[in-house]
Structure 1
Amino acid sequence: MRDTVGRSAGAGAPPSTAAEADLRHHGDAETGPGLLDFAVNVRTGTPPPWLAERIRASVADLAAYPDPSAARRAVARRHRRDPAEVLLTAGAAEAFVLLARVLRPRRAVVVHPQFTEPEAALRAAGHRVERVVLAPDFTLDPQRVPEDADLVMVGNPTNPTSVLHPAAALERLARPRRVLVVDEAFADCVPGEPESLAARAGVPGLAVVRSLTKTWGLAGLRAGYLLADPGLVARLAEAQPLWSVSTPALVAAEACSTPEAVAEADAWAERLAADRAALAADLAALGLHVTPNAAASFLLVRAEKGEELRAGLRNRGIALRRGDTFPGLGPNWLRVAVRERDTALRMTRVLAQLL
């Protein structure tokens, strides 16, 4: 596998190779009993009671096979799409696996640092993968992507950088005979979702992947979906196992797509923005470099001896996400989930003592 490494001014060390980066490492591996969790990006206090009750009530229908039609229509209405452009999946991870199994790219490119599961899925399906690695502060330059790449994968806002790329920059990556996959798992962290491509049905080759895990606290339920042209959706559906999305997950997808749920998520995104700004200011005041323009439910920070700092926090009961498993980052990078103010202050007080 060949890396395409950023060489713009300020670029850091070359990215990790596939052999060096553990693409299957995720934030849940950092947590444990008794640890204050700043490693996993799922919104705390979720699912909300109204959603939990809808999911509990769906148990009464488990004798019947899952019927995705109502959830598909609800997701389509939420994004102003045709139901034929919606594929419901067992979380975003299933969407990446289906794309990797169905597509036959000649030149697949993944823009890093980003969520590693898309590349892991491509590699598991036998594809060669090239990386375009963005230098800090991780601004997307569409010209960095090879012109002849026929599959491009990018996150927005990106995990772990929290950077929100402009929709116009992403659209510059789209063209005929190319599939452009935009991972919008954290798009609803942004009030109003101004840079989302989810409703833009006319962009050639565009596939948008969404997740209900983060905002609604449904990691254990596996609920997500993909939005693309009907032809690609049909091809992916053919490869999808029958009834892969459970009845409770379908109920959740329908419920979270209502105007009331979207409004609730938007109100949370406003509160998140305030908590994120306060945490970023606290971390910067402690001398850490905080990646600017953060838009998601986490911050990417760089610290001297970051791995020692992470271990010290863990020894004091606080879990952060290591950064060295993301291609393009190293052990001095840490991802910090945004929590409500009182919880965040507990972490930063301990961090101040260590520093």
Structure 2
Amino acid sequence: MDTSMRTDPPRTDSARVGSARTGSARADDVDLRHHGDAEVGSGLVDFAVNVRPGTPPAWLAERLRASVADLAAYPDPRPARSAVARRHGRAVEEVLLTSGAAEAFVLLARALRPRRAAIVHPQFTEPEAALRAAGHAVHRVILGKDFTLDPDAVPRDADLVVIGNPTNPTSVLHPAETIAALARPGRTVVVDEAFMDCVPGEPETLAATLPPGVVVIRSLTKTWGLAGLRAGYVLAEPALIERLAEAQPLWAVSTPALVAIQACCEPSALAEAERWAADLAAERERLAGELTARGLYVVPRARASFLCLNMPDALGVRALLRERGYAVRRGDTFPGLGPDWLRVAVRDRATNDALLEALGELGI
């Protein structure tokens, strides 16, 4: 396989170096509903889904099993809502619990009536999918070199802006002040912080400051292995929280999910997550260095639990890796990327080394 590729930022049709592109887009130009779970399968080592391996931990699984005894009663969100508020130093009225982050995007699409919604891409595609499903037109802002954010690239008349931080799939962490600079009267800025707990100390989170007009969405899925349970929350001004709650079905968050939210906000859980984030950072840096040494372009300064790679015929590499028992995430279903991009989860050292060995067998 030809591996004569550069380690400087690649020039592609979908991510041009040095500038951001803006414009409307068709809903069918990429598959917005394709996600990493579609890549995995029996017998495949999973580098496609960004859930922390070995989760949920035993102590959390035991709490979830015990919660089954209370399923006859309707869910009571108050203890979990208070726990989230304490965890971020917010008022309870600024918290809405949701059935995962995905539900939060649907609620925003239902509750808001944007004149011009701008999505900063590449990023998680569910916000755009939810907006389109609710009948809203979507304006895409495609980031250029290294996928760093220039606030001036966002149209000034956009009254809804959605951005990930750190961003899926690029793993880029934007400075908090850069995102806060997007806020202005009459505009709602939605920040998807589903991977923020991958960052030791969470220095760029906006959850604690919550500037006017900013909405923060968090998820427990990735760190705690709760993709099948669906647990997340929204932080926003009380008036918007009320509007979102009105759009939400009754008892949308199950009793086990509420137990998980409360448990994962406890000091011991936060300390566990912090230790994992530190270990992740070290292994991520090592893996990125190994891939870069092979001539691959790895989006720099990755801060989430995955790396974003550029290589010729990435879809072909993906298929060959599947034949060897490894699942990685295709990049061409993210607006702003294309067929020469892959997303690779960071696993433990031994598992990462096995993937590197498989790439070596392909001449990479």
TM-score range, shorter chain: over 0.9
Contact 1:113 1:329 in 2 (8 A): yes
Pick the aligned partner of 1:118 from 127, 150, 153: 127
CA distance in structure 1 between the partners assigned to 2:132 and 2:19 by the alignment: 30
- What is the TM-score of this pair, normalised by structure 2? 0.94
Compared with structure 1, are the counterparts of its residues 351 and 17 closer, same or farther at alpha carbon in structure 2 (3 Å cutoff)? farther
Q: CA deviation at 1:136?
A: 3.2
Pick the aligned partner of 1:166 from 175, 188, 195: 175
Query: Does residue 232 of structure 1 match 2:237?
Result: no
Query: Does residue 183 of structure 1 match 2:192?
Result: yes
CA distance in structure 1 between the partners assigned to 2:196 and 2:20 by the alignment: 27
Contact 1:16 1:329 in 2 (8 A): no
State the partner residue of 1:315: 323
CA distance in structure 2 between the partners assigned to 1:7 and 1:286 by the alignment: 23
Pick the aligned partner of 2:256 from 222, 239, 248: 248
Contact 1:275 1:340 in 2 (8 A): yes
Compared with structure 1, are the counterparts of its residues 7 and 48 closer, same or farther at alpha carbon in structure 2 (3 Å cutoff)? closer
Q: CA deviation at 1:10?
A: 6.6
1:268 is paired with a residue of what secondary structure? helix
Matches within 5 A, 1:130-279: 130-201=139-210, 203-279=211-287
Compared with structure 1, are the counterparts of its residues 143 and 167 closer, same or farther at alpha carbon in structure 2 (3 Å cutoff)? same
Runs (4+) off by over 2 Å: 5-12, 14-18
Q: CA deviation at 1:353?
A: 1.1
| Aligned partner letter, 1:119 | E
Identity of aligned residues (%): 68
Query: Does residue 24 of structure 1 match 2:33?
Result: yes
State the partner residue of 1:52: 61
State the partner residue of 1:76: 85
Q: Which runs of 5+ in 2 are unaligned?
A: 1-13
Query: Does residue 305 of structure 1 match 2:304?
Result: no
Q: CA deviation at 1:204?
A: 1.4
| Aligned partner letter, 2:297 | H
State the partner residue of 2:11: none
State the partner residue of 2:105: 96
CA distance in structure 2 between the partners assigned to 1:297 and 1:7 by the alignment: 25
- What is the TM-score of this pair, normalised by structure 1? 0.96
| Aligned partner letter, 1:180 | V
Alpha-carbon displacement from aligned partner over 1:45-68 (angstroms, at most 9, x marks no partner)? 000111111111000000000000
State the number of aligned residues: 350
Instruction: Give the RMSD, CA atoms, in angstroms.
Output: 1.6
Q: CA deviation at 1:287?
A: 1.5
Q: CA deviation at 1:16?
A: 7.5
Pick the aligned partner of 2:351 from 320, 343, 351: 343
Compared with structure 1, are the counterparts of its residues 124 and 114 closer, same or farther at alpha carbon in structure 2 (3 Å cutoff)? same
Q: CA deviation at 1:270?
A: 0.1
Matches within 5 A, 1:272-291: 272-291=280-299
CA distance in structure 1 between the partners assigned to 2:130 and 2:151 by the alignment: 23
Alpha-carbon displacement from aligned partner over 1:205-230 (angstroms, at most 9, x marks no partner)? 11100000000000000000000000
CA distance in structure 2 between the partners assigned to 1:73 and 1:337 by the alignment: 33
Compared with structure 1, are the counterparts of its residues 109 and 6 closer, same or farther at alpha carbon in structure 2 (3 Å cutoff)? farther
| Aligned partner letter, 2:68 | V
Q: Which runs of 5+ in 1 are unaligned?
A: none
Q: CA deviation at 1:305?
A: 1.4
